């Protein structure tokens, strides 16, 4: 029987993550399909079958179509409103423009209204909050079913509206909601917050896994960025959960191709040693862009919090969307969905890519044999570079204002996009350099005259990794995600070099990644496990009460019910240390306010003879020294049951470095401070957080706490 | 100045891992080149340039040659001894056979002698010991320069001798030696054991990175299998270290091709859904083989430890090598180096592979167009299957006796080899099934009649992963390593499925992986962080002294030098708790035996007036209560400096689950047990390890401790 129970115990965890994986994968499929359909709705509709998006619509028509091209089955709005002839021309352009803007504003407004009305927690990316939750803070209903529902619908709407945001961060939040809801099916996980966090870590991995189609990257993201405690058991579960989720999503096949990843590319040219210099250069640029973005975004979010702007969230969404849509439409690179732009920038130029960016002077002599080598850029490429630069500036500025508005919004896709644009431009520059000066020593032996030995798409990928690294300060998980996206072992070194450069530059300019910066901005009580506490303060310097203030405690057998009730009334502490007596304050244990309150109320109601003058006993046997004659023989209230006899203690001489380490590693909420066994005070997590802020010359009162 | 110091502090870690990476990569290159040359020396020599191995020798001759073929520049031993005509025939075979055996025994004997004479610690794989060292145990000179030197030379010799072992595990040990030696250049790391372990974790990652050419896999291996504490900072450093090492190795290019990985394969066929069943089947087989191997190997190692066999290590090596060489030569699949066999089994059959295993009935009609589809197996394939089965049985049995002999020896390659053989055979079976019964429903739509839709090489890879998973119980790192080896995102799901199945089956049959089993066998004090402590014992049940025994402690101001010296003589504890006095044993602090000994000896020699009757004061001010007239005014010995005022304490009612957790997470060596502030006893790491063994019904006295 013990064996069966043990097996059930062990399996319930696996079963739970299996269910989480299946649900996350399925929901991600639904969201992908929905978002893609609604995105295309901005441009037109498939009258034959309105539920198809443009790509699917054109499949059924069996026509060949280019990336931008429309097939006859797909009607753009100008055609629907003005008739079949309104496909081109100024009037058609204006109609399309208007429809685009209207749909965009409509979607965004709907998303914001839903969020505001039903689930305010579903705004934003959710990753800072999940980090905080996984560090031990409880935010009620942050991972509830309403958040799940509204965030799922909202992310489809906000992505479709063409705002500069991605669905990857929210997907992590959605997966965590699923994890939280499903954990209630398994009492072992639902009832224990610490155990539940194991499921949430696995769910976060599944979220990234389905967002990018990168299961290993998801596990590492959960390990590196999201989770606080990540024991090996969680590693295996996360791995399984991410695998299942990716597999389910792959079976649904929302992208309609055989690859489950978001941006599948396959390069075949090796990189040459010299290229490490531009790659590291891209890393440095990525770190700079990332830091600049964080600083600007935090500045704007702080302004929103402190000004009147924060009171009009829906208006803000409408204004931002209107601006985005109006400014985005004229430039083809901003008009197309961001993920499509990234895909275009990552891809290798081949005969099938008709975009300006691939307007190379082609060597048609060899076109017959299948291998077309391109090298010299045509005018289209230079045109594309100008448009891309404009797109970069526009997207960068608008994203600063977008991340933080009250719709579900992730930052991965915009970051990747900035980097891809920069990278592609650098890549084209290096490519042309190699073409024109292939005699330079660092190209010699690698690049033949007139042949193309540089892949600008690879630069886009490296640049994307660099900016994402600069924004989030991920390293290993970033490289693995990019590596899973492309499926090339060869490009690990370039990606790693860029990620390290980006992280170093970023950390030199500003310590925190965007998530930590938002945690800090919102004042969440997050005890960062990455940073070392390097100061030499002692526990005695941090503990409450401060010098001169009285210490609140309960004695084990000499306080009356009235005394305890007064203590409960006068203070707001979550718990109280229990000591032997006023005269010898040796520590006995710790009692929670909640338990004490409940036990006393209960005892007064149910046990006869208990009133305000009854003694509270935290011992089993009556006190020996005190003569019972002093007090009338009131029935004592026995409270030993609720006493925690094993509180974690430190001495007053313990360095705060050790104390912080204990808080982090053991997940403490408080520790008691003693000297030679005598109780001196208490250090709570809040005290620790405040102390760290104080040591870093920040405002200690900005820490929220529940 | 503080900024400069801080920057230097921060950079010294990066610089140290950079150096470790460079050295590990360079040394790995040397070992690869040396081992490959010596391996070929068993077969012949390049008279034109004796320092070249066969492949390089044949390059210079510009001849085309098959995998097995010899070019005219390369002379096999029969040719050298008997003249150019002795290339084939019985006499040539016998000469070659003899030379093969002699070289093998010679190499192995030399390796064993070197190990025995100069560095006994360089035997075996080293991973169990490194795990133990990283968990906080110190084994002197285990990572010293002699070990480094002898292990590097020894691994070349033992790999070349054709024994069933690999160089991957020892490469981790070698990298850790480099890390240990180089850390002494940086006082911050060399002087602090905890900091040094961070470098060692990074070095372990670099070791795997160069062993397989898999930097990310290396980092994950270090995280999952080797390291005990793995903070995020270490993750980044490991990542950097592994990257640098892989890059240096790639620049040296020991394999003489553009890929830095050991077994580079590139499949291009997608797998079909039905194949998950054989993949999971392979996982189950892998778990079974792995567990069987562990149990058999541990049984044999225990027999070696307890019998006379252990006294003749060199004889054992000679006997095992002789057996291996004599039995291996006749079968071509055991004659070739194991890594070459794995490469052959992983590879896809193409026109260039001339081995029996690719003896398919080829469709020569299409050979012109480049795409040769093969499907029906020819007689050579069946012949190869028999030989492979024989090879599997032989290799499996001999490896059981090989792992544990006194030469440097890793287990990765043999495990991969078992799995690759099983996998290839299963793959061929599925392939033939698909060919003959392509009308079956699960193949329909995927496999066309007469075309080959199954890749047996992929099965070999999945099988290899499964057995390696069964032996080591790795999961994520295993998948990432295999994935980096092959460079295909597509095959993550098969690999993950097999790895999970293998781990589950393995864990169901026997809890421990091979490394943990060897740690247990050798009685290293390793506190496993993977297993939960699920018992309900309390700290009071575990602490020393047991009921009735006296508690050893020092009082803060009432013991004389003589008292303390007697205590030091009578006990062997590493440290003593300090209490207020005999009457009120409230805990003041903790003092280490070493410090106490030193301080007293010092004081007696240098301070005038100190003799055996002097009082030892752990306080600053003289004791108030005791009248000084009782003792003559001997000068007191002031010991406050050596007193640790912040010992970690727990109460006697603390559940052992919490105590074990504190030991693991805080890396404690001991904790003091108190009750209401009074000292009751002490729990050392040894007590915890013994208690865990006791709870698991194992012999608690098998734990070693220094």
Contacts of A651 in chain B (CB under 8 A): 589, 645-647, 649
Contact B261 A676 (CB under 8 A): no
Residues B377 and B434 sit within 8 Å (Cβ to Cβ):
no
Query: What CATH number did the domain enclosing B212 receive?
Result: 1.10.3080.10
Distance (Å) from the C-alpha of residue A563 to the closest C-alpha of chain B? Answer: 22
Is a pLDDT exceeding 50 seen at residue A66?
Answer: no
Q: Nearest residue of B to residue A508 by CA position?
A: B7
Same domain? For B348 and B220 the reply is: yes
Same domain? For A150 and A230 the reply is: yes
pLDDT at A407 (0 to 100)? 92
- Helix (H), strand (E) counts: chain A: 26, 13
Higher per-residue confidence, A284 vs B553: A284
Q: Which of A200-209, B92-101, B538-547 has the highest mean pLDDT?
A: A200-209
Distance (Å) from the C-alpha of residue B653 to the closest C-alpha of chain A? Answer: 6
- Ranges assigned E (strand) in B477-597: 554-555, 559-560, 575-579, 587-592
Is a pLDDT exceeding 90 seen at residue A392?
Answer: yes
Pair type for strands A637-638 and A360-362: unpaired
Residues in chain A: 706
Q: Does B487 touch chain A (CB under 8 A)?
A: yes
Lowest mean pLDDT of B7-11, B67-71, B177-181, B261-265, name the range: B67-71
Is a pLDDT exceeding 90 seen at residue A262?
Answer: no
> B570 pLDDT band (50/70/90 cuts)?
confident
B268 class by beta-carbon count within 10 Å (0-12 exposed, 13-18 middle, 19+ buried): exposed
* Sign of the torsion angle spanned by Cα atoms A476, A482, A487, A491: negative
Section A687-695 average pLDDT: 86
Q: Nearest residue of B to residue A220 by CA position?
A: B220
Residue B653: count of CB within 10 angstroms of its CB = 16
Q: Which of A42-46, A250-254, A456-460 has the highest mean pLDDT?
A: A456-460
Choose one of B472, B492, B525: the last residue of a domain: B525
Lowest mean pLDDT of A208-217, A367-376, B602-611, B670-679, name the range: A367-376
Pair type for strands A374-377 and A360-362: antiparallel
B487 class by beta-carbon count within 10 Å (0-12 exposed, 13-18 middle, 19+ buried): buried
Section A604-609 average pLDDT: 80
Contact A496 B239 (CB under 8 A): yes
pLDDT at A368 (0 to 100)? 47
Kindly give, in sequence order, each residue whose CB lies less than 8 Å from that of residue A294, ignoring residues fewer than 6 positions away: A471, A510, A512, A513, A514, A517
Could you give the CA distance from residue B156 to residue B29 in angstroms, rounded to a whole number?
Answer: 11
Mean confidence (pLDDT) of chain A = 83
pLDDT at A506 (0 to 100)? 92
Please choose, from the candidates B394, B464, B389, the residue with its C-alpha nearest in 3D space to the C-alpha of residue B429. Answer: B389
Q: Does B654 touch chain A (CB under 8 A)?
A: yes
Residues B575 and B593 sit within 8 Å (Cβ to Cβ):
yes
Same domain? For B519 and B544 the reply is: no
- Residue B636 resides in a domain: no
Lowest mean pLDDT of A233-237, A331-335, A383-387, B672-676, name the range: A233-237
Q: pLDDT digits over A488-526, tens only?
A: 667 888 888 899 899 989 988 888 889 999 988 888 888
> A612 pLDDT band (50/70/90 cuts)?
confident
pLDDT at B369 (0 to 100)? 46
Question: Token digits for B238?
Answer: 């490991």
Question: Token digits for A556?
Answer: 């084990």
Is a pLDDT exceeding 80 seen at residue B534?
Answer: no
B24 class by beta-carbon count within 10 Å (0-12 exposed, 13-18 middle, 19+ buried): buried
Higher per-residue confidence, A22 vs A550: A22
Q: Of A243, A476, A678, which is closest to B677 when you measure between CB atoms?
A: A678
What dihedral do alpha carbons B12, B16, B17, B20 form, nearest 10°? 170
Same domain? For B474 and B571 the reply is: no
Could you give the CA distance from residue B446 to residue B442 in angstroms, rounded to a whole number?
Answer: 8
Pair type for strands B649-651 and A575-579: unpaired
Q: Kindly report whether the peptide bond that precedes residue B363 is cis, defined as omega within 30 degrees of 0.
A: no
Same domain? For B409 and B556 the reply is: no
pLDDT at A370 (0 to 100)? 43
* Sign of the torsion angle spanned by Cα atoms B558, B560, B563, B566: positive
- Residue B659 resides in a domain: yes
Question: Token digits for B569?
Answer: 């003589």
> B61 pLDDT band (50/70/90 cuts)?
low
| Cα distances (Å, whole numbers) of residue A129 to A179, A205, A518, B335 | 15, 16, 9, 59
For B518-544, what is the HEC assignment? Answer: HHHHHCCCCCCCCCCCCCCCEHHHHCE
Output the DSSP codes for B282-338. HHHHHHHHHHHHHHHHHHHHHHHHHSGGGG-HHHHHHHHHHHHHHHHTTSHHHHS-H
Q: pLDDT digits over B492-513, tens only?
A: 888 888 998 999 899 888 888 8
Choose one of A522, A556, A590: the last residue of a domain: A522
Please choose, from the candidates A300, A256, A394, the residue with its C-alpha nearest in 3D space to the C-alpha of residue A338. Answer: A394
Higher per-residue confidence, B83 vs B121: B121
Residues A671 and A683 sit within 8 Å (Cβ to Cβ):
yes
Distance (Å) from the C-alpha of residue A230 to the closest C-alpha of chain B? Answer: 10
Could you give the CA distance from residue A437 to residue A451 in angstroms, rounded to a whole number?
Answer: 12
Same domain? For A404 and A452 the reply is: yes
Classify the phi-psi angles of A687: left when phi > 0, otherwise alpha if psi is within -120 to 50, otherwise beta.
Answer: alpha
Helix (H, G, I), strand (E, B) or coil at B274: helix
DSSP 8-state symbol, B623 = P
Same domain? For A490 and A569 the reply is: no
Helix axes B685-695, B656-666, angle to 10 degrees: 130
Could you give the CA distance from residue B329 to residue B345 in angstroms, rounded to a whole number?
Answer: 19
Is a pLDDT exceeding 90 seen at residue B311?
Answer: no
Could you give the CA distance from residue B616 to residue B600 in angstroms, rounded to a whole number?
Answer: 9
pLDDT at B624 (0 to 100)? 56
Is a pLDDT exceeding 90 seen at residue A296?
Answer: yes
Contacts of B492 in chain A (CB under 8 A): 215-216, 243, 246, 484
- Residue A306 resides in a domain: yes
Q: Which of A31-35, B200-204, B228-232 has the highest mean pLDDT?
A: B200-204
Q: pLDDT digits over B414-452, tens only?
A: 999 999 999 999 998 888 888 777 777 666 666 665 566
Strand order in the sheet with A649-651: A678-684, A670-675, A649-651, B649-651, B670-675, B678-684
Q: Nearest residue of B to residue A538 by CA position?
A: B646
Scanning A411-522, the segments in alpha helix (DSSP H) are: 412-436, 456-472, 476-486, 492-509, 514-522
Section B217-244 average pLDDT: 86
Contact A677 B497 (CB under 8 A): no
Query: What CATH number did the domain enclosing B546 receive?
Result: 3.90.1280.20
Section B164-178 average pLDDT: 92
- Residue B244 resides in a domain: yes
Distance (Å) from the C-alpha of residue A83 to the closest C-alpha of chain B? Answer: 42
Helix (H, G, I), strand (E, B) or coil at A229: coil
- Residue B481 resides in a domain: yes
Same domain? For A447 and A552 the reply is: no
Question: Token digits for A476?
Answer: 């290993």
pLDDT at A703 (0 to 100)? 72
| Cα distances (Å, whole numbers) of residue A421 to A351, A415, A553, B606, B681 | 21, 10, 62, 73, 65
Question: Token digits for A168?
Answer: 């990857």
Contacts of A497 in chain B (CB under 8 A): 243
pLDDT at A21 (0 to 100)? 94
Contacts of B508 in chain A (CB under 8 A): none
Residues A369 and A83 sit within 8 Å (Cβ to Cβ):
no
Is a pLDDT exceeding 50 seen at residue A234?
Answer: yes
Percentage of chain A with pLDDT > 90? Answer: 26
| Cα distances (Å, whole numbers) of residue B145 to A11, B150, B194, B245 | 47, 9, 20, 19
Is a pLDDT exceeding 50 seen at residue A701?
Answer: yes
Domain total of chain A: 3
Please choose, from the candidates B353, B417, B416, the residue with its C-alpha nearest in 3D space to the C-alpha of residue B380. Answer: B353
- Residue A267 resides in a domain: no
Question: Token digits for B169?
Answer: 């595990």
Section A400-426 average pLDDT: 92
pLDDT at B65 (0 to 100)? 47
Q: pLDDT digits over A526-548, tens only?
A: 887 777 777 888 888 888 888 77
Please choose, from the candidates B316, B43, B33, the residue with its C-alpha nearest in 3D space to the C-alpha of residue B156. Answer: B33
Question: Token digits for B549?
Answer: 């025994």
Residues A202 and A17 sit within 8 Å (Cβ to Cβ):
yes
A697 class by beta-carbon count within 10 Å (0-12 exposed, 13-18 middle, 19+ buried): exposed
Contact A215 B580 (CB under 8 A): no
> B108 pLDDT band (50/70/90 cuts)?
very high
Contacts of A662 in chain B (CB under 8 A): 666
| Cα–chain center distance at A108 | 21
Q: Of A216, A490, A588, which is closest to B676 when you measure between CB atoms?
A: A588
Could you give the CA distance from residue B537 to residue A262 in angstroms, rounded to a whole number?
Answer: 51
Same domain? For A693 and A657 the reply is: yes
pLDDT at A705 (0 to 100)? 60
Same domain? For A301 and A198 the reply is: no
pLDDT at A640 (0 to 100)? 84
Choose one of A221, A252, A283: the last residue of a domain: A252
Lowest mean pLDDT of A59-68, A385-394, B575-584, name the range: A59-68
> A105 pLDDT band (50/70/90 cuts)?
very high
Could you give the CA distance from residue B267 to residue B460 in angstroms, rounded to a whole number?
Answer: 12
Which residues, numbered 556 to 615 in chain A, qualify as contacts with chain B under a Cβ-Cβ cut-off of 8 Å? 580, 586-589
Q: Which of A390-404, A672-686, B30-44 has the highest mean pLDDT?
A: A390-404
Kindly give, in sequence order, each residue whose CB lies less than 8 Å from that of residue B467, ignoring residues fewer than 6 positions away: B285, B286, B289, B290, B415, B416, B418, B419, B422, B502
Contact B530 A232 (CB under 8 A): yes
The H-or-E segment that residue A250 falls in is: helix A232-252
> B541 pLDDT band (50/70/90 cuts)?
confident
Is a pLDDT exceeding 90 seen at residue B45?
Answer: no
Question: Token digits for B494?
Answer: 């098969």
Could you give the CA distance from residue B173 to residue B200 in angstroms, rounded to a whole number?
Answer: 10
Q: Does A640 touch chain B (CB under 8 A)?
A: no
Q: Does B646 touch chain A (CB under 8 A)?
A: yes
Section A138-157 average pLDDT: 91
Section A371-383 average pLDDT: 70
Could you give the CA distance from residue B488 to residue B498 in angstroms, rounded to a whole number?
Answer: 16
Domain that holds residue A642: 539-702
- Residue A529 resides in a domain: no
Question: Token digits for A684?
Answer: 């709570």
| Cα–chain center distance at A550 | 43
Could you give the CA distance from residue A573 to residue A585 in angstroms, rounded to a whole number?
Answer: 19
Mean confidence (pLDDT) of chain B = 83
Same domain? For A190 and A293 the reply is: no
Please choose, from the candidates B563, B295, B676, the residue with its C-alpha nearest in 3D space to the C-alpha of residue A649. Answer: B676
> A150 pLDDT band (50/70/90 cuts)?
very high
Contact B484 A493 (CB under 8 A): no
Same domain? For A90 and A228 the reply is: yes
- Residue B605 resides in a domain: no
Distance (Å) from the C-alpha of residue B691 to the closest C-alpha of chain A? Answer: 19
């Amino acid at each position: 029987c013990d064996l069966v129970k043990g097996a059930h115990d062990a399996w319930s965890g696996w079963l739970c993550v299996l269910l989480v994986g299946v649900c996350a994968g399925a929901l991600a499929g639904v969201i992908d399909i929905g978002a893609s359909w609604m995105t295309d709705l901005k441009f037109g509709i498939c009258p034959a079958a309105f539920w198809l998006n443009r790509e699917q619509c054109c499949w059924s028509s069996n026509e060949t179509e280019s990336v931008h091209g429309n097939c006859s089955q797909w009607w753009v709005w100008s055609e629907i409103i003005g008739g079949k002839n309104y496909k081109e021309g100024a009037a058609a352009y204006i109609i399309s423009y208007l429809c685009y803007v209207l749909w965009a504003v409509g979607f965004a407004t709907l998303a914001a209204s839903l969020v505001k009305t039903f689930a305010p927690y579903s705004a934003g990316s959710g990753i800072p909050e999940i980090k905080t939750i996984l560090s031990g803070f409880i935010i009620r209903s942050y991972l509830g079913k309403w958040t799940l529902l509204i965030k799922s619908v909202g992310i489809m709407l906000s992505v479709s509206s063409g705002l500069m945001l991605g669905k990857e961060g929210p997907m992590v939040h959605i997966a965590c909601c699923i994890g939280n809801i499903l954990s209630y099916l398994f009492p072992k996980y639902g009832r224990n917050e610490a155990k539940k966090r194991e499921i949430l870590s696995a769910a976060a991995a599944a979220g990234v896994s389905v967002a990018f189609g990168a299961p290993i990257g998801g596990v590492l993201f959960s390990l590196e960025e999201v989770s606080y405690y990540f024991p090996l058991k969680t590693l295996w579960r996360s791995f399984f959960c991410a695998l299942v989720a990716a597999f389910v999503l792959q079976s649904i096949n929302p992208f309609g191709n055989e690859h489950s990843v978001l941006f599948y590319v396959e390069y075949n040219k090796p990189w040459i040693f010299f290229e490490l210099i531009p790659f590291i250069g891209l890393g440095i640029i990525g770190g700079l862009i990332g830091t600049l973005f964080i600083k600007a975004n935090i500045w704007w979010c702080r302004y929103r919090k402190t000004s009147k702007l924060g009171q009009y969230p829906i208006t803000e969404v409408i204004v931002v969307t209107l601006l985005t849509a109006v400014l985005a439409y004229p430039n083809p690179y901003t008009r197309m969905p961001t993920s499509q732009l990234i895909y275009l920038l990552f891809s290798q130029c081949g005969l099938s890519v008709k975009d300006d960016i691939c307007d190379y002077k082609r060597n048609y002599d060899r076109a017959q044999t299948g291998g077309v080598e391109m090298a010299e850029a045509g005018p289209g490429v230079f045109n594309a570079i100008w448009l891309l630069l404009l797109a970069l500036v526009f997207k960068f500025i608008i994203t600063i204002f977008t991340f933080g508005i009250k719709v579900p919004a992730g930052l991965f896709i915009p970051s990747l996009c900035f980097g891809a644009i920069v990278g592609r431009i650098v890549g084209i520059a290096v490519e042309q350099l190699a073409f024109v000066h292939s005699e330079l020593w660092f190209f010699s032996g690698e690049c033949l005259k007139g042949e193309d030995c540089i892949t600008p798409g690879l630069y886009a990928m490296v640049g994307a990794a660099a900016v994402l690294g600069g924004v989030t300060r991920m390293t290993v998980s970033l490289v693995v995600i990019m590596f899973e996206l492309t499926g090339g072992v060869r490009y690990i070194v370039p990606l790693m070099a860029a990620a390290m450069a980006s992280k170093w530059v970023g950390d030199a300019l500003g310590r925190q990644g965007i998530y930590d910066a938002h945690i800090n901005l919102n004042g969440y009580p997050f005890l960062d496990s990455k940073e070392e506490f390097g100061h030499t303060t002692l526990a005695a310097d941090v503990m409450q009460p401060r010098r001169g203030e009285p210490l609140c405690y309960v004695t084990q057998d000499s306080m009356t019910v009235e005394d305890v009730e007064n203590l409960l009334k006068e203070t707001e502490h979550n718990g109280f240390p229990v000591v032997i007596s006023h005269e010898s304050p040796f520590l006995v244990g710790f009692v929670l306010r909640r338990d004490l309150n409940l036990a006393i109320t209960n005892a007064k109601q149910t046990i006869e003879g208990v009133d305000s003058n009854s003694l509270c006993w935290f011992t089993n046997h009556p006190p020996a020294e005190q003569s019972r004659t002093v007090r009338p023989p009131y029935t004592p209230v026995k409270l030993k049951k609720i006493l925690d006899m094993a509180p974690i203690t430190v001495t007053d001489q313990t360095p705060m470095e050790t104390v912080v380490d204990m808080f982090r590693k053991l997940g403490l909420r408080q520790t008691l401070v003693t000297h030679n066994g005598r109780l001196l005070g208490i250090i709570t997590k809040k005290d620790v957080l405040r102390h760290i802020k104080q040591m870093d010359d920040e405002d200690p009162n900005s820490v929220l706490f529940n």
